[in-house]
């Protein structure tokens, strides 16, 4: 199948950010008219068996984390999300030369999106989530149609996994994988393998298996991308890297800068609603090792005409009922319907300015959240309805 130009995930390390936090961002580009919902799933004990998108696996015997997910409404898994242990994950489609047997992505196994959700539900740190994903990948494999209505849409996956202190890139080919720990600076992944010779963790006997598959000569330096890649979108990868370099040059990178990256049209990172493969949802997260973590989601297509809505994990946290899809053929949630009408309207520039104004107000209110909590100017419980209230503010502007 042809390569699909879709999805980008980014991370900027604390050394380059305004507040010394990890800043994560992802655009999820998906098939036209596929609805992406944002839901909150409270953690706790679960039944012993878990039905994922296509297959049933054993549930973890441990307590499952609470998660907020941005997900295609038809599948169990998620394109991106966060958990209450301050872990975030996003995935990318990649295509490799390992496409037979356990590497055959046409077979219904775990989707890459299932692995995102499983990593968040079971992982208590970035490395822990990495270990969860790789163990499940090795046990069950990956594969199956990644579109509800197009069974030719299948692929292997790469992942960017972060917590307030660490970030990892995980890239896969069938049940084989390599992971690189990001030591400093910034990193982005698009739709191609990027791990070369710096491999900090890998699947068992990876080099021996690559040699047995005649992908490595056994003598030259082992390069994961050189061995397994069958192509990718180098242009968007390089353009994203340029944006991160430019916006982090003064070591003051912040959430609003990541909004700008995800809204960039010239690079192809942001794809419009009428594109064949539009940006159907976006996430930005600020991860602090000493304070409160804030996660921002659009729940609507094309971030350049969408409103990033904030969420904070608190015991009584809620998301808006208007971002959850109903169980009906089109699965269009209320916010999605309003957004669709707004995008197709002739005069929407004024409303876009209003939406950006609301967004800036929430950014300003949350900029000093840690200081305000420390000085007893607010309590964590004050943020339980944060996403619900921001969604209602957006709905009022779109109606």
- The reported pTM is 0.97
**Domain 8-398, second-level architecture:** 4-Layer Sandwich (3.60)
Helix 234-247 vs helix 255-262: crossing angle, to nearest 10? 150
* Predicted local distance difference test score (pLDDT) of residue 347: 80
Q: Measure the CA–CA gap between 395 and 339, rounded to whole angstroms.
A: 9
* Predicted local distance difference test score (pLDDT) of residue 199: 98
Q: Which residues contact 201 (CB under 8 A, 6 or more apart)?
A: 130, 134, 178, 179, 181
* Predicted local distance difference test score (pLDDT) of residue 146: 95
Q: Which residues contact 91 (CB under 8 A, 6 or more apart)?
A: 7, 9, 79, 80, 112, 113, 115, 116, 157, 158, 159, 160
* Predicted local distance difference test score (pLDDT) of residue 6: 75
Q: Measure the CA–CA gap between 388 and 302, rounded to whole angstroms.
A: 20
Ranges of each domain in the chain: 8-398
Task: Give catalytic residues, as residue numbers.
Answer: 7
Divide the 399 residues of the chain into consecutive groups of 10 and give the mean pLDDT of each group: 73 97 98 96 97 98 97 98 98 95 96 98 98 98 95 94 98 98 97 97 98 97 97 89 98 98 96 94 96 97 98 95 93 97 89 96 93 92 96 96
* Predicted local distance difference test score (pLDDT) of residue 4: 59
* Predicted local distance difference test score (pLDDT) of residue 1: 44
């Amino acid at each position: 199948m042809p390569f699909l130009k879709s999805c980008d995930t980014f991370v900027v390390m604390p050394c380059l950010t305004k507040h010394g936090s990890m800043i994560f961002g992802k655009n999820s580009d998906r098939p036209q008219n596929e609805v992406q919902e944002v839901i909150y799933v409270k953690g706790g004990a679960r039944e012993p068996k878990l039905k994922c998108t296509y297959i049933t696996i054993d549930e973890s015997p441990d307590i499952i984390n609470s998660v907020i997910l941005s997900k295609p409404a038809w599948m169990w898994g998620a394109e991106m999300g966060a958990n209450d242990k301050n872990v975030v994950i996003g995935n990318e489609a990649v295509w490799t030369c390992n496409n037979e047997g356990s590497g055959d992505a046409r077979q219904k196994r775990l989707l890459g999106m299932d692995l995102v959700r499983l990593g968040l539900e079971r992982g208590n740190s970035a490395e822990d989530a990495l270990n969860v994903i790789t163990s499940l990948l090795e046990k069950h494999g990956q594969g199956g149609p990644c579109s509800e209505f197009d069974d030719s849409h299948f692929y292997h996956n790469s992942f960017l996994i972060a917590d307030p202190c660490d970030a990892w890139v995980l890239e896969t080919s069938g049940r084989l994988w390599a992971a690189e720990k990001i030591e400093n600076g910034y990193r982005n992944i698009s739709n191609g393998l990027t791990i070369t010779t710096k491999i900090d963790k890998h699947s068992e006997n990876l080099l021996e298996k690559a040699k047995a598959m005649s992908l490595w000569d056994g003598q030259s330096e082992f390069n994961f991308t050189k061995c397994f890649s069958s192509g990718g979108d180098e242009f968007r990868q390089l353009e994203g890297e340029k944006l991160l370099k430019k916006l982090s040059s003064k070591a003051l990178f912040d959430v609003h800068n990541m909004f700008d990256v995800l809204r960039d049209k010239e690079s192809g990172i942001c794809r419009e609603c009428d594109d064949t493969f539009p940006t159907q949802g976006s996430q930005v997260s600020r991860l602090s090792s000493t304070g409160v973590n804030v996660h921002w989601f659009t729940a609507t297509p094309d971030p350049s005409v969408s409103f990033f809505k904030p969420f904070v994990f608190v015991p009584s946290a809620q998301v808006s009922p208007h971002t959850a899809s109903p169980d009906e053929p089109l699965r269009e949630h209320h916010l999605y319907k309003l957004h669709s009408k707004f995008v197709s309207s002739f005069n929407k520039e004024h409303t876009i300015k209003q939406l950006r104004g609301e967004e800036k107000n929430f950014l300003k209110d949350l900029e000093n959240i840690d200081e305000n909590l420390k000085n007893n100017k607010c309590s964590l419980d004050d943020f339980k309805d944060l996403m619900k209230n921001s969604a209602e503010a957006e709905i009022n502007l779109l109606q």
